[in-house]
C-alpha cells in the first residue's frame, strides 16, 4: 500500500502546480469535490478514462457530462480555477492509482450520443409559501381552537356586546342570538352530509363495533356524570357543567377529522356522528333528569337547574334535529345544493365553526364578572377535571375495543376516538335551555369549552402515535400478500408477529417488518 501511495504523490503534485499556475487564488477547499471540477471538454469526456471511478463516483461523471452538454463549448476554465489540462492530470493520477491497485482496466467504447445529448431540464424547486400564506394555512387548520380562544378572550376583555345579545328574546323566552347560530350549524351539517360515505360502514364485520360505539356514546359514557357532579369544584356550576357535558353526543366534525388523521375508518366515524347527534335529542332529556334530580331545584348559586324533559326534548328537536333533516333534504332534492356544498365545503365548515364560537362568546360574556372573580386554584382544578374526563374515556374505550371487541384496526381506531369525544356546542345549547340565568349559563358552559379544546390538543398527540401503528399494519399486510420467493421458507407465525409488533425508530417505521399483522386486541 505504501509504494502505491508513493506512486500517486508525483501525479497529485503535478496537479497542484498546474492549478496554481492557472489561478493563484485557488485553494484546497475549492479543489475539493465540487460539481464544476469535472467540467471537462466533450472530446475528453467522450471516452471514459481508465480508473476514473476509483477516485470519483459514477454519479459525478454523469453530472459532468450533463454540465458539458449544456455549455456547448470546449477549452473553458471552470469555477475552481482549473483548466482542462489540470483535470486531465487528475484523471491520469486516478488512473495510475487504479492501475497500481487493481490492474489495468479496459477502455469502454463511448456512446455516440453521450457527448451530444442535452441535459434533461431540471425540475424547478417548489415555490416557497410566503409568511402570510403559511399563517393563513395554520389558522384554517386550527380554526376551532383559535375561534374558541378568541371568544373566551373577547368575552373577558369586552363582555358588553355579548351580554346584550344574550338578553334579546323573541316569542316569549327564545334567545334568538343563541338559537339561530345553532340552527345554522346543524343545517350546514345536514347539507354537507353525503350518505354514500356511510354505506361502506354498514357491513356485517362493522356491526359489533358500530353497536358498541352507539351504546358507549349515548349510554355508557354519561354514567361518569354521576361522579363528575359530586366533584368538590367551586363554584358548583363547574361540576354541573361537566355532568351535562358527559351526556352530550360525539363531536360534529372534530372527531371525523381526527379519525382521518389517525388512519381510522372515516365512514364509520361519520356514521357514529350522525346517528348519535340525532339520537341524543331523545336520550339527553331523560338522562339529565336522572343526573340532576329535582330535589336540587331552587338552590340558586349552587349549580341547580330545572330539567323539564318534554320542554328540553321539544327545543332540541327544533334546534338540532329539524335543521339537520332540512339540510339533508335540501342536498338530496334541491337542484344544485349538493354541488354548492361540495364547492364551498371549506367555507361552510369555517362558517359553522364561527357560529359555534359566536354562541360560546355570548355565553361567556354573560358570566365574565363571575369568571374573573374565581381564584386560580378552582379554575385549574376544573381544567384538570375536564382533561381527565377525556383521558379516562380514551383509556376505557380503547381497552374495550382492543381487548374485547377486537375489530379490524381502522374500525377500532374510529370507535375508540368517537366514543371518547363530547360535543361542546350541543352541551352549551342544552345549558342555555336548562337555566334562565345568563351568568349561571356561562359558568356551566366553561368546562364544556375547555373540554372540547382539550380533546383537540390531546387528539393531535394521539394522531401521531396511531398513524404510525396504522402504517406498520399496512406494511405488514403488504408483505404478507407477497408470494414467497422460490426455495425460501415462509416466515413462521411467531416471527411474523414479533416483527409486526417491533417498535419503529422515532423517525419512520422499520422497512423490513415480517408478514402478518396482529389483531388490534393483541397490540
| 9 falls within a domain | yes
**148 plus 93 within the same structural domain:** no
Burial of 118 (0-12, 13-18, 19+ CB in 10 A): exposed
Residue 91, phi-psi category: left (phi > 0), alpha (psi -120 to 50), beta (remainder): alpha
Q: Is 58 helix (H, G, I), strand (E, B) or coil?
A: helix
Report the alpha-carbon distance of residue 217 to residue 418 in Å, rounded: 8
| Cβ neighbours around 240 below 10 Å, total | 29
| 445 falls within a domain | yes
**96 plus 145 within the same structural domain:** no
Q: What percent of the chain has pLDDT over 90?
A: 31
| 61 falls within a domain | yes
| 399 falls within a domain | yes
**153 plus 54 within the same structural domain:** no
| 487 falls within a domain | no
CA atoms within 13 A on the CB side of 511: 0
**179 plus 310 within the same structural domain:** yes
* pLDDT of 281 above 80: yes
Please report, for the domain that includes residue 210, its CATH number.
1.20.1530.20
| 120 falls within a domain | no
**349 plus 467 within the same structural domain:** yes
**57 plus 158 within the same structural domain:** no
Cell of 100: 497500481
**H or E element, residue 212:** helix 207-215
Report the alpha-carbon distance of residue 89 to residue 86 in Å, rounded: 5
| Cβ neighbours around 391 below 10 Å, total | 12
Averaged pLDDT for residues 244-249:
96
Q: How confident is the model at residue 430 (pLDDT cuts 50, 70, 90)?
A: very high
Report the alpha-carbon distance of residue 254 to residue 363 in Å, rounded: 21
Phi, psi for residue 89 in degrees, rounded to 5: -65, -40
pLDDT at 522: 40
**85 plus 192 within the same structural domain:** no
Residue 509, phi-psi category: left (phi > 0), alpha (psi -120 to 50), beta (remainder): beta
| 81 falls within a domain | yes
pLDDT at 27: 44
**209 plus 324 within the same structural domain:** yes
pLDDT in tens, 313-336: 998 999 999 999 999 999 999 999
pLDDT at 520: 37
Its domain, for residue 50, covers 2-102
Closest listed residue to residue 51, CA positions, set 95, 12, 92? 95
Closest listed residue to residue 419, CA positions, set 402, 432, 437? 402
**69 plus 158 within the same structural domain:** no
pLDDT in tens, 473-517: 888 888 887 776 665 555 554 444 444 444 444 444 444 443 333
**Domains of the chain: total:** 2
**98 plus 147 within the same structural domain:** no
Averaged pLDDT for residues 335-347:
91
What pTM was estimated for this model as a whole? 0.66
Amino acid at each position: 500500500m505504501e509504494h502505491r501511495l508513493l506512486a500517486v504523490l508525483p501525479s497529485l503534485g503535478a496537479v497542484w502546480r498546474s492549478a496554481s499556475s492557472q489561478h493563484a487564488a485557488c485553494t484546497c477547499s475549492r479543489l475539493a469535490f465540487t460539481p464544476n471540477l469535472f467540467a471537462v471538454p466533450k472530446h475528453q469526456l467522450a471516452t471514459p478514462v481508465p480508473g476514473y471511478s476509483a477516485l470519483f463516483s459514477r454519479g459525478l461523471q454523469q453530472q459532468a457530462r450533463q454540465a458539458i452538454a449544456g455549455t456547448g463549448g470546449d477549452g473553458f476554465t471552470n469555477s475552481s480555477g482549473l483548466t482542462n489540462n489540470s483535470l486531465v492530470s487528475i484523471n491520469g493520477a486516478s488512473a495510475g492509482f487504479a492501475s497500481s491497485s487493481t490492474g489495468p482496466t479496459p477502455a469502454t467504447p463511448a456512446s455516440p450520443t453521450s457527448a451530444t445529448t442535452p441535459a434533461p431540464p431540471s425540475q424547478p424547486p417548489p415555490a416557497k409559501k410566503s409568511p402570510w400564506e403559511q399563517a393563513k394555512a395554520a389558522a384554517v387548520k386550527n380554526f376551532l381552537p383559535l375561534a374558541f380562544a378568541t371568544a373566551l378572550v373577547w368575552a373577558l376583555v369586552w363582555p358588553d356586546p355579548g351580554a346584550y345579545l344574550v338578553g334579546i328574546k323573541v316569542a316569549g323566552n327564545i334567545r334568538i342570538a343563541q338559537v339561530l347560530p345553532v340552527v345554522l350549524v346543524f343545517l350546514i351539517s345536514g347539507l354537507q352530509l353525503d350518505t354514500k360515505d356511510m354505506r361502506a360502514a354498514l357491513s356485517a364485520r362493522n356491526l359489533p363495533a358500530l353497536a358498541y360505539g352507539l351504546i358507549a356514546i349515548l349510554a355508557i359514557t354519561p354514567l361518569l356524570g354521576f361522579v363528575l357532579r359530586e366533584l368538590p369544584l367551586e363554584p358548583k356550576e363547574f361540576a354541573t357543567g361537566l355532568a351535562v357535558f358527559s351526556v352530550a353526543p360525539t363531536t360534529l366534525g372534530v372527531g371525523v377529522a381526527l379519525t382521518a388523521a389517525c388512519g381510522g375508518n372515516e365512514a364509520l366515524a361519520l356514521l357514529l356522528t350522525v346517528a348519535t347527534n340525532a339520537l341524543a335529542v331523545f336520550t339527553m332529556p331523560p338522562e339529565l333528569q336522572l343526573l340532576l334530580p329535582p330535589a336540587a331545584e331552587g338552590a340558586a348559586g349552587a349549580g341547580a337547574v330545572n330539567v323539564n324533559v318534554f320542554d328540553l326534548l321539544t327545543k332540541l328537536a327544533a334546534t338540532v334535529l329539524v335543521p339537520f333533516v332540512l339540510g339533508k333534504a335540501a342536498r338530496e332534492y334541491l337542484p344544485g345544493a349538493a354541488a354548492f356544498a361540495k364547492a364551498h365545503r371549506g367555507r361552510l365548515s369555517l362558517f359553522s365553526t364561527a357560529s359555534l364560537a359566536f354562541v360560546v362568546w355570548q355565553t361567556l360574556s354573560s358570566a365574565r364578572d363571575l369568571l374573573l372573580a374565581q381564584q386560580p386554584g378552582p379554575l385549574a382544578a376544573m381544567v384538570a377535571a375536564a382533561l381527565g374526563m377525556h383521558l379516562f374515556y380514551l383509556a376505557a374505550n380503547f381497552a374495550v375495543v382492543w381487548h374485547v371487541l377486537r375489530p379490524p384496526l381502522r374500525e377500532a381506531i374510529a370507535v375508540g376516538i368517537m366514543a371518547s369525544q363530547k360535543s361542546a356546542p350541543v352541551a352549551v345549547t342544552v345549558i342555555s335551555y336548562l337555566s334562565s340565568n345568563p351568568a349561571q349559563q356561562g359558568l356551566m358552559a366553561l368546562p364544556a369549552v375547555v373540554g372540547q379544546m382539550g380533546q383537540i390538543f390531546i387528539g393531535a398527540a394521539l394522531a401521531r402515535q396511531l398513524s404510525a401503528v396504522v402504517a406498520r399494519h399496512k406494511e405488514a399486510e403488504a408483505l404478507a400478500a407477497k408470494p414467497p420467493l422460490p426455495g425460501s421458507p415462509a416466515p413462521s407465525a411467531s416471527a411474523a408477529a414479533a416483527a409486526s409488533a417491533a417498535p419503529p425508530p422515532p423517525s419512520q417505521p422499520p422497512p423490513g417488518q415480517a408478514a402478518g399483522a396482529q389483531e388490534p386486541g393483541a397490540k
